[in-house]
Structure 1
């Protein structure tokens, strides 16, 4: 029997031995499945009340047996099809935003500035992804002298847009102190180190696998800072990082701060939302800003902007597409072809609502929560772009007006990538690259602020 004070791993092993799926356990206990999943992966915690619900469920053997034997609800076949008259009515809502032209032009100007070879400062980029953070810094007048990115396909996207930037290495964990010193000798002094180490090796509870190589990625970042000794280091991550702990129970944010201080840096962190910096998307992030103690600069951050941009501001010039349709002028603007029954669930769902909210139970998805199969809102900022934005069943991935998931171009626009940014390769790789990126427009505003500060030291 499951102990009442079970761990995530103990719950997973016992649940699987009883042949109870996460989805069924979530339904029977009224606990969000994502919370159970996070707990089992040791990336989240369950309240005592939630643990009691789970323990009580598994203590009732007859109920467990009934749940296991229950047949999965079968989705009925649907003959639903979209009529041209219905589409014409929808297109009337698809009005061009008065701010759209300027937004698209601003992104195009950002790319022009990136291409300008006149750069005042020099940086290296770690955990570079496809180059969202680098694009903003390059546009602000910072030459990217080298980058490190492990994923070879995403590295190719980076190289397509930063053709003159050498890839120093693919696996940062393989670099020795001597390797880093040789890079320093080759590149010379740099003003800034930028990057966002993945944080999957840590958890909210402090439990982790000590052998997980991802636990050392912050240390790898700091090893490079210790050799290059830049004037400024900028470290980006998910906002949740501020609540994560190591195996001794210490907060990761404090570990980062202490190690930077040991290296001779003053440091602070800023919790921000991209929507406050001209990006038409709600995306919570944290930035650690470290400045060498001998540099007479204050630890500051760009001022929050008063006016937020919306989904419509970003995308209203794009061709209207329904499920399965493709643009004739933009190869990245194509819609996934969704099954008829999914289209029927979502067709009459209003903006900001989910198919799970349908009054007619037959038009509700058989499983999931009301953040799934959910429309975004045209006149509000876009929801956080994730790597799964092409899945209509994902979290807030449904277009506000059309009945489909987001296109690659729409996601790139919401993430503030200029249309001229080159995305070649497999669609899955491109989606991952966009979903994991720092929005270039946010990066540009941070970089412009830091460049202005650095100019004061010259």
Structure 2
């Protein structure tokens, strides 16, 4: 990894955007994230990259197989690896301490780039529709102010700010555009900004996922936006999932899976399939008999007519929710015969009804590993829990909140081409 492209990841989550930048040759100095499980995921991933660079992944493999505990694994790592992940909520009280920790990690190096974006729930269309007044007084609305403080402190050449399309229409209590307020503040701190709405499916990601990518450059020049070239993939969703063990509801493994030897070349070309490190977290939720019957009906309808199941069209005995006309599309099949699926979101951690596996014989929702593949996370990427034991729910949440790795990589590559 080049020392000329040192970056800091703010509001890092599980590290999807960061992984893309690492793959493009950038050097992570630190990640700042408030969620404990996500921070453990980041530490484990930084350990993977350090061990891979050394040419010895055996201790990583031993950990994933459960031969050593997380504590034992972390003790074997240099402090600079584990300390590069800063588990803290960014705020007025913590800012100076975060700066001090980053300065220690930087040593005498310059910070060239900042990436990341604040939590997006309050800007999202879905969040605002569910609770129209939720933005008022929500401190998350103003997290961009702290993001700007990092720009003022470190003066990087560029920054990459990611958020949901709802940011385009989000306003404060006075009706001011949040995006406009952000751009004005960034300009005040010496950065011109340009943004685009990018759909991940246009850049090789097998998922229909739109995001605002705002890029800032120090100075007053314009026309610098690093928009990647669009590319199409001929792989179908069913091909992305086909080499994973076929399992039914409640089946699977969290530690190590026996993979099929035949797989689509795309999985190798994108770096998803790995023949060295065991595949983890391919374990399906246990669904009750009623849900499995609904899943089967949903898949049959899609396979026969490419139609979507409406909840109020189910037989009365299967309609157990009181409000039958809310969220009519609460059961949705991941289309196996298309080159992309619908957007993977954090709600997948609550239930899998919106992410039904396309293979009717398996009759279940997606596993964390399958969801991770839709986000183009490599199979050697392990999603941690707070406890240190494998767990589906925190993995689903981290995956649903992440930036697709391949999209991050495409942006990083284009930014490097344009770097001035």
> Structure 2-normalised TM-score?
0.73
Aligned to 1:282: 208
| Contact 1:282-1:382 at 8 Å conserved across structures | yes
Q: Is the counterpart of residue 410 in structure 1 residue 370 in structure 2?
A: yes
| Contact 2:144-2:182 at 8 Å conserved across structures | yes
**Equivalent residue of 2:293, what SS?**
helix
**Match for 1:430 among 395, 412, 416?**
395
Aligned to 2:244: 318
| Contact 1:333-1:408 at 8 Å conserved across structures | yes
Aligned to 2:412: 447
Q: For 1:162 and 1:235, locate their aligned partners in 2 and report how far apart those are by CA, in whole Å.
A: 22
**Equivalent residue of 2:252, what SS?**
coil
**Match for 1:166 among 71, 84, 105?**
84
**Equivalent residue of 1:389, what SS?**
helix
Gaps of 5+ in 1: 1-116
1:163-312 maps to which residues of 2 (within 5 A)? 163=47, 164=81, 166-168=84-86, 170-175=88-93, 178-179=96-97, 182=100, 185-186=103-104, 187=106, 188-201=109-122, 211-293=137-219, 298-307=224-233, 309-312=235-238
Aligned to 1:125: 9
* Cα-to-partner distance string for 1:200-251 (whole Å, 9 max, x where unaligned): 4558699566653213211010111111111111110111111111111111
Give the direction of change, closer, same or farther, for the CA distance of 1:331–1:289 in structure 2 (3 Å limit): closer
**Equivalent residue of 1:369, what SS?**
coil
| Contact 2:21-2:409 at 8 Å conserved across structures | yes
Name the count of aligned residue pairs: 338
Aligned to 1:152: 36
Give the direction of change, closer, same or farther, for the CA distance of 1:181–1:437 in structure 2 (3 Å limit): closer
1:356 positional shift: 2.6
Give the direction of change, closer, same or farther, for the CA distance of 1:357–1:404 in structure 2 (3 Å limit): farther
Coordinate RMSD, CA, aligned: 2.6
1:310 positional shift: 3.3
**Equivalent residue of 2:342, what SS?**
coil
1:342 positional shift: 1.7
Q: For 1:359 and 1:417, locate their aligned partners in 2 and report how far apart those are by CA, in whole Å.
A: 35
Q: Larger RCO: Structure 1 or Structure 2 (Cα < 8 Å, ≥ 6 residues apart)? A: 2
Aligned to 1:57: none
1:417 positional shift: 0.4
1:273 positional shift: 1.1
Give the direction of change, closer, same or farther, for the CA distance of 1:247–1:258 in structure 2 (3 Å limit): same
Q: Is the counterpart of residue 354 in structure 1 residue 309 in structure 2?
A: yes
**Match for 1:335 among 268, 284, 291?**
284
Gaps of 5+ in 2: 48-80, 259-278, 386-390
| Contact 1:241-1:252 at 8 Å conserved across structures | yes
**Equivalent residue of 2:148, what SS?**
helix
